Amino acid sequence: MANLGLLLGSIFLSIFILPCLSCPEYQKQALLQFKSSILASNSSFNSSTFGLESWNSSSSCCQWDQVTCSSPSNSTSRVVTGLYLSALYTMLPPRPQLPSTVLAPLFQIRSLMLLDISSNNIYGEISSGFANLSKLVHLDMMLNNFNDFIPPHFFHLRHLQYLDLTNNSLHGSLSPDVGSLQNLKVLKLDENFLSGKVPEEIGNLTKLQQLSLSSNQFSDGIPSSVLYLKELQTLDLSYNMLSMEIPIDIGNLPNISTLTLNDNQLTGGIPSSIQKLSKLETLHLENNLLTGEISSWLFDLKGLKNLYLGSNSLTWNNSVKIVPKCILSRLSLKSCGVAGEIPEWISTQKTLDFLDLSENELQGTFPQWLAEMDVGSIILSDNKLTGSLPPVLFQSLSLSVLALSRNNFSGELPKNIGDAGGLMILMLAENNFSGPIPQSISQIYRLLLLDLSSNRFSGKTFPIFDPEGFLAFIDFSSNEFSGEIPMSFSQETMILALGGNKFSGSLPSNLSSLSKLEHLDLHDNNLKGDLPESLFQISTLQVLSLRNNSLQGSIPETISNLSSVRILDVSNNNLIGEIPKGCGNLVGMIETPNLLSSVSDVFTFSIEFKDLIVNWKKSKQGLSSRHLDIYTLFDLSKNHLSGEIPASIGALKALKLLNVSYNKLSGKIPVSFGDLENVESLDLSHNQLSGSIPQTLVKLQQLSNLDVSNNQLTGRIPVGGQMSTMADPIYYANNSGLCGMQIRVPCPEDEPPPSGSLEHHTRDPWFLWEGVGIGYPVGFLLAIGIIFLTGYFTPPPTNSRHRRRQQRPIRRRI
């Protein structure tokens, strides 16, 4: 970089020496043409959409912003040599796309040495016109949406020293007959369809010092031709789909200082030639499929500063003694099989700023030496560490991330925790910590995330967090906290999870002052009293769980103000009255959900929030925050609700689970339930519902669980669609006269004429099921008929989708 800067700097110096010469007219025209073509590419653009105000025909283009000119050595005229066109939009995202064809005028400016068109949301193919810019030294195209393959002509740019194609949609070249496919999603799915290799011709760009193809869709092996790029200092191929082994001779690139191959599917071992890379400073190999032992020579690389090996299938030889010659700043050995105590050689790394040893087999206590080292991020989650935390750890102003979840740490949190003024993320979930939350924690001005869930913390008094603070994610669930629900939190609070404690009293009346709240979880406490009106004023709320408390009173009509709510669980309380008709206006349950704003958007490493416990299908389940968007549920079960179920509920098209069981609901099942097109689980059991099951339920194609037992229903169970598979008699038990093939009870009209009867019956025998014709394939009906005839007690067929959903969502951990 520095070299390049010098080079370009010396070229552009001449700007100041020859200020009055103007650029060639054809270059000016080309630039004006470029300006007008981007403006013309979308009718909603105007002259202030891009920061190109200074580009006008009355001045020399060398005087325009974003343009640099210089004179070739033996000439007095000046030409355009640099275009700094990064992030041209003046508007905030989301920004409309620009077609790559707008670049065409630029290909006439053959004197260009530097072209930066990064961050412009340009889509489409890379034009072979780039080949005309044969003097290019520096080309930055990152953060666009260039797709398809890199055209062969591109590799004629022999002078390129810097090439950045990060974060586009590029892939290897297609077989010729495939043509240009627009839809990259299809291409991504069908990997065999394209040969996605990074082109071998990359090896022709022999002057390259910096090469990034990160965050594209390249697959197959790393081309061996990269070994021709002897000047290479940075090679970044991360976040692709590269497979096979790292080229064994990668160590023959003598000038490499940054080698970034993480987040691919690379296999094999770490090539031992890497020990020849004497200038290596940064090695990113994490999140691949690498195998073999992590060799100790890595730590002999004197210049090595950043080493990321985590999340491979690498192993660590715990009996090798490491005497590092490197001085690391960042080290990730996540999931590398490191066992025993936290390796003491780490204490020699005086400049360590980031340490990730999560998902190992570490034992013993938190070392005093580590606490004293002033490390910025310490991630030790998912080990077997014990003991309490040394107070000296929090005397560091550098500490910004401390993640110790899922260990066996115990004891109280040090009282001086508030001294860690730089702490942003504190994750202590699933340990054995006890005692109160130290008051001093509220002094940590920058604290953003506090996860203390699943410990034995207790106490009635809570730190008073600054309303102006940043604390947005709070999880105190599954502890032994008591007293009233604390409410002194930041205005920024987005997630407040206090479930599974011993909180008592009523719901706070000023909940609505947390105006950004998206997730409120108070399940399994001892809360009493009515549902406060203020609760229903939080229109940002997406998840509300109040299950397993003793709340009383009725659900107000204003519930319909919860326009974002997608998970609403008030089961097992003492609620009375009717289900409000306004429930049918819960927009979040009508429209296909937006994604929850997730913590991982904010941070560069993924964080999984505490599971939210809900009734899912027939079992209690934890929904992980990462997967919340796939659930939309409304659970009113186990209350004392009465009256009829409002027909308006049928409008909740996005709903996947509706549970109103164990109430005192009466009247009929609304015909509108046939419109719950996404519903998978419908539990109406243990009420006083009467009438028949509406025929419309056969429209519910996603239905995999239906329970109408313990009501007063009568009549024929509808047949057709998924209803035909809802054939477990338990879910129809204890009604007043249901009949149908699902429960092998013939309906009266299906009975064969009693023997000796003189009545003339023209009906089919009952087992032929006259009702079955309703738009359902005959083959399937026959199968059902056979199941019915051959075994009364065979379980209903489970479909595989159902089984998959039953699994606990995979938890991603840091």
- Give the residues lining the site for ligand NAG (CB under 6 A): 42, 44, 46, 48, 54, 56, 58-59, 63-64, 72, 74-75, 96-97, 104, 107-108, 129, 132, 143, 152, 155-156, 167, 201, 204, 215, 230-231, 239, 254-255, 293, 317, 319-320, 386, 408, 410, 432, 487-489, 508, 510, 513-514
* Displacement of CA 529 from its chain's centroid (Å): 37
Complex with ligand NAG: residue 59 or 313, whichever CB lies closer: 59
The least distance separating ligand NAG from the CB of residue 518, rounded to whole angstroms, comes to: 15
CA distance 334 to 309: 7
The least distance separating ligand NAG from the CB of residue 388, rounded to whole angstroms, comes to: 9
Q: Which of 383, 635, 623, 409 is nearest to 497 (CA)?
A: 623
The least distance separating ligand NAG from the CB of residue 576, rounded to whole angstroms, comes to: 27
Respond yes or no on whether the N-terminal peptide bond of residue 94 is cis (omega within 30° of 0): yes
Q: Are 546 and 524 in contact (CB under 8 A)?
A: no
- Between the alpha carbon of residue 304 and those of residues 321, 324, 423, 647, the distances in Å are 18, 10, 27, 67
The least distance separating ligand NAG from the CB of residue 338, rounded to whole angstroms, comes to: 13
The least distance separating ligand NAG from the CB of residue 95, rounded to whole angstroms, comes to: 8
Q: Are 219 and 240 in contact (CB under 8 A)?
A: yes
The least distance separating ligand NAG from the CB of residue 108, rounded to whole angstroms, comes to: 5
Complex with ligand NAG: residue 135 or 330, whichever CB lies closer: 135
- Between the alpha carbon of residue 529 and those of residues 505, 549, 580, the distances in Å are 7, 10, 19
Complex with ligand NAG: residue 483 or 785, whichever CB lies closer: 483
As to burial, measured by CB atoms within 10 angstroms (0-12 exposed, 13-18 middle, 19+ buried), residue 444 is: buried
The least distance separating ligand NAG from the CB of residue 680, rounded to whole angstroms, comes to: 30
The least distance separating ligand NAG from the CB of residue 185, rounded to whole angstroms, comes to: 13
Complex with ligand NAG: residue 48 or 798, whichever CB lies closer: 48
The pair phi, psi for residue 379, each rounded to 5°, is -120, 110
The least distance separating ligand NAG from the CB of residue 99, rounded to whole angstroms, comes to: 8
Complex with ligand NAG: residue 280 or 719, whichever CB lies closer: 280
Beta strands in 517-660 (DSSP E): 519-521, 526-528, 543-545, 552-554, 567-569, 574-577, 612-616, 619-623, 633-635, 640-644, 657-659
The least distance separating ligand NAG from the CB of residue 80, rounded to whole angstroms, comes to: 14
CA distance 719 to 781: 9
The least distance separating ligand NAG from the CB of residue 168, rounded to whole angstroms, comes to: 8
Complex with ligand NAG: residue 353 or 475, whichever CB lies closer: 475
Complex with ligand NAG: residue 418 or 469, whichever CB lies closer: 469
| 3-state DSSP assignment of residue 462 | coil
Complex with ligand NAG: residue 123 or 788, whichever CB lies closer: 123
Complex with ligand NAG: residue 2 or 778, whichever CB lies closer: 2
Structure tokens at 522: 């108070």
The least distance separating ligand NAG from the CB of residue 559, rounded to whole angstroms, comes to: 22
- Between the alpha carbon of residue 549 and those of residues 414, 512, 523, the distances in Å are 32, 20, 7
- Which amino acid does the sequence have at 427? M
Q: Which of 230, 295, 285, 277 is nearest to 260 (CA)?
A: 285
- Between the alpha carbon of residue 357 and those of residues 299, 380, 383, 620, the distances in Å are 16, 5, 9, 33
Which helix (H) or strand (E) segment holds residue 35: the answer is helix 25-40
The least distance separating ligand NAG from the CB of residue 255, rounded to whole angstroms, comes to: 4
Residue nearest to ligand NAG (CB): 129
Beta strand pairing call for 354-356 and 330-332:
parallel
Complex with ligand NAG: residue 25 or 759, whichever CB lies closer: 25
User: What is the CA angle 322-325-330, rounded to 5?
Assistant: 85
HSE value, Cβ hemisphere, 13 Å, CA-based, for 183? 5
Give the torsion through C-alpha atoms of 163, 169, 170, 174, to 10 deg: -170
Complex with ligand NAG: residue 204 or 560, whichever CB lies closer: 204
DSSP string, 167-204: SSEE--PBPGGG---S-HHHHHH-GGGB--PPPGGGGG
CA distance 372 to 365: 14
Q: Which residues contact 789 (CB under 8 A, 6 or more apart)?
A: 767
The least distance separating ligand NAG from the CB of residue 562, rounded to whole angstroms, comes to: 18
CA distance 384 to 362: 6
The number of beta carbons lying within 10 Å of the beta carbon of residue 377 is 19
Complex with ligand NAG: residue 213 or 698, whichever CB lies closer: 213
Phi-psi region of 642 (alpha: psi -120 to 50; beta: other; left: phi over 0): beta
Complex with ligand NAG: residue 256 or 379, whichever CB lies closer: 256
The least distance separating ligand NAG from the CB of residue 67, rounded to whole angstroms, comes to: 10
Complex with ligand NAG: residue 54 or 180, whichever CB lies closer: 54
The pair phi, psi for residue 290, each rounded to 5°, is -65, 150
Complex with ligand NAG: residue 410 or 440, whichever CB lies closer: 410
The least distance separating ligand NAG from the CB of residue 234, rounded to whole angstroms, comes to: 12
Complex with ligand NAG: residue 410 or 552, whichever CB lies closer: 410
Complex with ligand NAG: residue 48 or 574, whichever CB lies closer: 48
Q: Which residues contact 44 (CB under 8 A, 6 or more apart)?
A: 96
Q: Which residues contact 179 (CB under 8 A, 6 or more apart)?
A: none
Complex with ligand NAG: residue 437 or 727, whichever CB lies closer: 437
The least distance separating ligand NAG from the CB of residue 253, rounded to whole angstroms, comes to: 8
The least distance separating ligand NAG from the CB of residue 3, rounded to whole angstroms, comes to: 7
DSSP string, 364-427: SB--HHHHTS--SEEE--SS--EEPPPGGGGG-SS--EEE--SSEEEEPPPGGGGG-TT--EEE
User: What is the CA angle 500-490-464, rounded to 5?
Assistant: 75
